Amino acid sequence: MEKLNIPKLIHVGYQERSDTYTKMLAYVIYTDEKGRKRKETSWQSWRNKKIEPIDFDNEPTSGFVLNKGVGGTRGSWSSRNVRNEYIRIYDPRGFEFEISVANLLFILTECNAFKGKGLEGEFVYSWDGTELILLPVGCAEYKASAEFTALKSMKVTKKDMKEGLTYQHKDTNKLVYMGRHKIRDFDKCWGREETQLLMVEPSQPRHVFWDLDSERWRFEKGFTKLATVVSEECHAEFANLHTKFVKSKYAAKSGKLVLSSVSFADIVADNGRSWFFIKVDGGYQPARLTTARPIDSGRYYRYNEPRPPAPEGQTDSHFWPINPHLVSEVNGTSVFSDFNDRYGYWHGDPRTAVSSSYIEDQELFTPEIQLPSRKKVEVYNYVKRRTNQKVPQSS
């Protein structure tokens, strides 16, 4: 709740309601920093077109009064018609609107409510995504949200960008700019796909940043999400960060696949999320731990049909592949080309599914990628061209 949007202008649409102080219930929306009215479609469909909407400057205002709770089970004729419970608040400008119970509890932790006089202090309208939040001006969240909102209207240009400088993102985090590099994009990529990606050279050009607040790498196609330059001085850790980046999975040169021994206990503890290999005569058998014997994916069964009987020697709790896929050597070709199921993954595939009891006494291995380290002279020359910092001796 520290990063709420506090717009400059709000728009108030009305419906006539007999259960309010002023006989007017309001739906409040706002204009964002790009000049667009947020939630305008639902606002237009809800409001009474015969009542002219009114615009207000979203300035700190006092005089808000609690009215009553609405919605919830007590306001519904059946459990299927229940809407969330809200609290109606009177705005001194002549209308009532609704806030969530959570919003009310937050308000009561920050200020007092007096019978007949209402809520103490000044408030502004703010939004957490699409949810309206009545925000006390005296709380710490107001200060943080005001900064967050101000940043959204700020921007930097290409000429402002220089490697090593610190910038503030529009989400308020501070970022160190590392330059434009080719990276591996792991978005929408997991498991075997991520492993495959590590075996090819980075190819996606991106602007690279180190987030000082969340301590993670961030990648952008441009600079539209940056608000301002925080420091014109090269960050003291730029050389260290560059060394860390070129060694990371995002920027390191293509790696090679190797097998590492893994224990039965580690496979079980991983709940079968990882794929592994069983050492057999003549090579390795790819496998994945599954809790129940899978039905042959080549056939289709209706929900009311019984599971077919287990093959001879197997049960639903002790099973192994009938026609396992074997590889003589585990490398990129044998793992990703020779073996590939119809869905591109192994979970539940009858050719690889094994029970925990079957692998308990087996010799097990997991595939890992070894990434090559960048030569120190390459890192040193890069940093030297851009700053006067030295490459760390430990690199």
Q: What pLDDT is stored for residue 76 in this prediction?
A: 46
pLDDT, tens only, 99-109:
999 999 999 99
The backbone torsions φ and ψ at residue 313, rounded to the nearest 5 degrees and listed phi first, read 90, -5
As a whole number of angstroms, the distance between CA 78 and CA 317 comes to 45
Q: What pLDDT is stored for residue 300 in this prediction?
A: 44
| Full-model pTM | 0.67
On whether the CB atoms of residues 78 and 105 are closer than 8 A, the answer is: no
Place of tokens 């717009």: 7
As a whole number of angstroms, the distance between CA 125 and CA 32 comes to 13
Q: What pLDDT is stored for residue 190 in this prediction?
A: 63
pLDDT along the chain (395 residues), means of 10: 88 92 92 92 96 96 88 51 77 94 94 86 95 95 93 92 95 95 84 74 95 96 95 90 92 85 89 79 86 64 66 88 78 56 50 88 86 69 70 51
Q: What pLDDT is stored for residue 333 in this prediction?
A: 61
Q: Per DSSP, which regions of 273-338 are E strands?
A: 275-280, 283-289
On whether the CB atoms of residues 223 and 157 are closer than 8 A, the answer is: yes
Residue 122, both tokens: 């000044």
Q: What pLDDT is stored for residue 395 in this prediction?
A: 43
On whether the CB atoms of residues 149 and 7 are closer than 8 A, the answer is: yes
Burial class (CB in 10 A: 0-12, 13-18, 19+), 109: exposed
Q: What pLDDT is stored for residue 326 in this prediction?
A: 79
pLDDT, tens only, 322-360:
777 777 777 666 565 544 444 444 445 677 888 999 999
String of DSSP letters for 201-243:
---EEEEEEEETTTTEEEEESSSTTEEEEEESSPPTTHHHHHH
Q: What pLDDT is stored for residue 305 in this prediction?
A: 64
Q: What pLDDT is stored for residue 325 in this prediction?
A: 76
As a whole number of angstroms, the distance between CA 72 and CA 361 comes to 57
Q: What pLDDT is stored for residue 117 in this prediction?
A: 75
Closest CA to 345 of 189, 202, 187, 186: 189
As a whole number of angstroms, the distance between CA 56 and CA 7 comes to 11
As a whole number of angstroms, the distance between CA 240 and CA 249 comes to 16
Residue 355, both tokens: 């029970």
**Regarding beta strands 61-62 and 122-128, do their DSSP bridges make them parallel or antiparallel, or are they unpaired?**
antiparallel
On whether the CB atoms of residues 118 and 63 are closer than 8 A, the answer is: yes
As a whole number of angstroms, the distance between CA 354 and CA 276 comes to 11
pLDDT, tens only, 18-74:
888 888 999 999 999 889 999 999 999 999 999 999 999 999 999 999 988 776 555
SS3 call for 66: strand
As a whole number of angstroms, the distance between CA 183 and CA 251 comes to 5
As a whole number of angstroms, the distance between CA 296 and CA 275 comes to 19
- What is the length of the chain? 395
**Number of Cβ within a 10 Å radius of residue 333:** 11
